[in-house]
A and B are shown apart, each in its own frame.
Chain A
Amino acid sequence: MPSSGLELLWQVAPQLGRGAIQTLAIALAAILCSTLGGLLYGVLGSLGRRALDALLRFYLELFRAIPLLVWLYLFFFGLPLLTGVSLSSFACAVLVLSLWGASEVGEVVRGGLQSLPRAQREAGLALGLSTWQLYRLVLIPQALKRMTPPTINVYTRLIKGSSLAVLIGVIEVIKVGQQIIERTHEHVLIYGTLFVFFFLICYPLSLASRALERRWSYA
């Protein structure tokens, strides 16, 4: 038996590290997909097509109304039953978090785009820009300031949400911690370490979000 907490931490560090990498891999993949999906959602939502808006609204409400946990079970256990396709628990976690994150980032993007004066769009069109050029060169760069802080908040929620993956069997950092606790009964030490781990990742993000918000508040 290890004699001190530090010694124990030193021993389990590689194991916790592997768990942490799983957690970060899920979070990073979900952040990337949410950003791309959210941009698409936001642009589609800003076009002002009624049928499209209704569809996006339905998608958003679906992910707001039903807990992520239920979505995870649905995709992990339900999908193979319904379609015969089964996803790894890792892929399933990334997929569900991304679908949720895309709708949340998407609402931020849509709001940012809609806050721009309508005439900016027309000024761009009058120059002959295509819709794609209009968004890429004129609208999205302008909305970026307004969009960035709330998007970072979604990112921190994705990082925390990645721990749900444990429920469909991903051995991420919290699961690893629980396994160690089962062996050693060092609740405080291990949960304390997990606390520090999540804090060290999320706190700088939320600091950055607040700093950007202050810096860009004139816009």
Chain B
Amino acid sequence: MSALIELSGFSKRFGDTQVLREIDLRVERGEVVVIIGPSGCGKSTLLRCLNGLEIGEGGLQFAGEALDAGSDWSRVRQRIGMVFQSYQLFPHMTVLENILLGPLQVQKRARAEVQAQAEALLTRVGLGERAGAYPRELSGGQQQRIAIVRALCMNPEVMLFDEVTAALDPEMVKEVLDVILDLADGGMTLLIVTHEMAFARAVADRILFMDEGRIAEEGEPQAFFSAPRTARAQQFLERFSYLQNVPRRK
């Protein structure tokens, strides 16, 4: 069986800037892949190419189907959930309306069935009581959990998370990461971009370290974090371990 996502020699440029360079990547069903790397190395761009928000060049397949600028992206996007750093709930809709929008308008499913699923998902992320609230009435952590539910309610085959805790106050990070861990435990295929190294180590089946538009190193989390092979990855990780143990001033 083919991989769920397969990139071969995939590149993306914006004008003169080459942002992704000849990426080769296979993501199997049920795999949890965490992408890390310095700012500007192309992590977000890689995720955005997977659901056609950006169109690159080279081989891109989803569930065996080759995708390019001419593909029916609306159909593909129904199978790929995406969650953004800044939540991006629709402010003029209640929580429930946000969640039902895709299933009702795009997938044309029956309201009763979708609503039952939405309520079950809201309960699962601890927000069963907030279906009627507007996004502005919710904390960042709550909004982000709703955004995850909104994507999940489309029954996607893979979820893309782009630094979904980066905009959150520290005390709200856990409630969002717990939801993602729960998804990983449930066997969902996940592609996660994050700067939370401890979380990456805990959740990942595989770490991809990106640098300057390339996958510079990849491996199992234990091996990668304890003994990175490339100098760039070593440098990158040193900066993070420094931040976790800033030496006491003299």
Please list the residues of chain A having a beta carbon within 8 angstroms of any beta carbon in chain B. 117, 119-120, 122-130, 133, 137-138, 141-142
For B97, give the chain A residue with the smallest CB separation.
A137
Cβ of B150 under 8 Å from chain A: yes
- In the complex, the number of residue pairs spanning A and B with C-beta atoms less than 8 Å apart equals 59
Nearest CB in chain A: distance from B3 CB, A: 21
B92 touches A119 (CB 8 A): no
Stretch at the interface among B30-38, B81-89, B121-129, B172-180: B81-89
- Of the stretches B15-23, B62-70, B71-79, B193-201, the one at the interface is B71-79
4 further interface pairs, Cβ-Cβ under 8 Å (given A123-B88, A128-B74, A137-B101): A126-B51, A126-B77, A127-B154, A130-B74
Give chain B nearest CB distance to A180 CB in angstroms.
50
Can you spell out 18 A-B residue pairs with CB atoms less than 8 angstroms apart? A117-B88, A122-B88, A125-B53, A126-B53, A126-B77, A127-B78, A127-B102, A127-B150, A128-B75, A128-B102, A128-B154, A129-B102, A130-B74, A130-B106, A137-B101, A141-B92, A142-B91, A142-B92
**B84–A127 touching, CB < 8 Å:** no
Q: Is the CB of B102 within 8 A of A119?
A: no
Whole-angstrom distance between the alpha carbons of A58 and B159 in the complex? Answer: 44
Is A127 a contact of B77 with CB atoms below 8 Å? yes
Nearest CB to that of B82 among chain A residues? Answer: A126
Chain B residues engaging chain A, CB cutoff 8 angstroms: 48, 51, 53, 73-75, 77-78, 80-82, 84, 86, 88-92, 101-102, 105-107, 150-151, 154
Interface contact B53-A123, CB-CB below 8 Å: no
Beta-carbon contact of A127 and B106 below 8 Å: yes
Instruction: Write the chain A residue with the least CB distance to B91.
Output: A142
With A128-B102, A129-B105, A133-B106 given, is the CB distance from A119 to B84 under 8 Å?
yes
Q: Which residues of B contact A129 (CB under 8 A)?
A: 74, 101-102, 105-106
**Residues on B with beta carbons closer than 8 Å to the beta carbon of A130:** 74, 106
- With beta carbons under 8 angstroms apart, the residue of B48, B91, B92, B106 that contacts A128 is B106
Contact B105 A137 (CB under 8 A): yes
Shortest beta-carbon contacts, A-B, top 6: A123-B88, A127-B102, A128-B106, A126-B82, A128-B77, A128-B78
Contact between B105 and A123 (Cβ–Cβ < 8 Å)?
no
Chain A residues contacting B81 (CB-CB under 8 Å) are 126
A residues within 8 A CB of B91? Answer: 142
B82 CB contacts on chain A under 8 angstroms: 126
Interchain CA distance A142-B89 in the complex, whole Å: 12
- Which residues of chain B are near A126, meaning CB under 8 Å? 51, 53, 77, 80-82, 151
